[in-house]
Amino acid sequence: MKFASIVLDVDSTLCGVEGIDWLAQRRGPELAKRVRELTDRAMNGEIPLDSVYGERLAMIEPTRSDVDELGQVYRRTLAEGAAEVIAGWTRRGIRVELVSGGIREAIAPLARELGVPVHGVSLRFDDRGNYVDYDRASPLATQQGKLDIVRSLALPRPTLAVGDGSTDVAMKQAADRFVAYTGFARRPQVVAAADAAAASYAELARIVGS
């Protein structure tokens, strides 16, 4: 199957970091543990993302400076070979979109470097850079939101969706094929729901083919 578009998750798929968990680590081990447990439960499909998205951010209260530093972490933890593979896809005319439940402002610098659009959840800060709130209207802060975004993009078909978590599985309904990315995190229920699994971007490139 020759894909005309590819949708990539970001946290633990394109990059080896869970952004909100990384922000929590800056607030100490106790809070980091609590946030990580909520993230894991949501990504494993035990609880809906809707129920913990705002709670995690309210616990962390990330500053604009924290988010800027997270942007550097995304760039440093980019999966091996991902930049080259994505560049190859775009040269061939394949449309690539990043669709993430992560913080858009942190992912945007990497997306610009890769030359691809990013869809994420925006945060609001006050004049001093303190956290105020997140975009509560964003579908990406919900369990099924990635499906809504992919449908709204009206991507050329066939479409391949790639991700590691339960929120990514929802994209199956709007894609022709779903690949579980296991290079950073392997979640058995996500692999079971996928059409294939890939542990590297070299493997993903082979699935996409020439």
Domain hosting 174: range is 5-208
**pTM flag (> 0.85):** yes
Quote the CA–CA distance of 59 and 36 in Å, as a whole number.
12
Instruction: Give one DSSP letter per residue of 77-144, joined into a string.
Output: TBPTTHHHHHHHHHHTT-EEEEEEEEEHHHHHHHHHHHT--EEEE-EEE-TTS-EEEE-TT-GGGSTT
Do the Cβ atoms of 178 and 165 come closer than 8 Å? no
CATH code, domain carrying 137: 3.40.50.1000
Quote the CA–CA distance of 210 and 206 in Å, as a whole number.
8
- Count of domains forming the chain: 1
Mean pLDDT of 193-208: 97
Per-residue confidence (pLDDT) for residue 210, from 0 to 100 = 63
128-138: pLDDT as tens digits: 999 999 999 99
Residues taking part in catalysis: 9, 11
- Note the Cα 67 to chain centre separation in Å: 15
Q: What is the mean pLDDT of the chain?
A: 97
Give the model's confidence band at 1: pLDDT under 50 very low, under 70 low, under 90 confident, else very high. Answer: confident
Neighbour count for residue 111 (Cβ, 10 Å): 21
Percent of the chain with pLDDT over 90: 97
Radius of gyration of the chain from its Cα atoms, rounded to whole angstroms: 16
| Sign of the CA dihedral running 56, 108, 182, 177 | positive
42-98: pLDDT as tens digits: 999 899 999 999 999 999 999 999 999 999 999 999 999 999 999 999 999 999 999
Burial (0-12, 13-18, 19+ Cβ within 10 Å), 207? middle
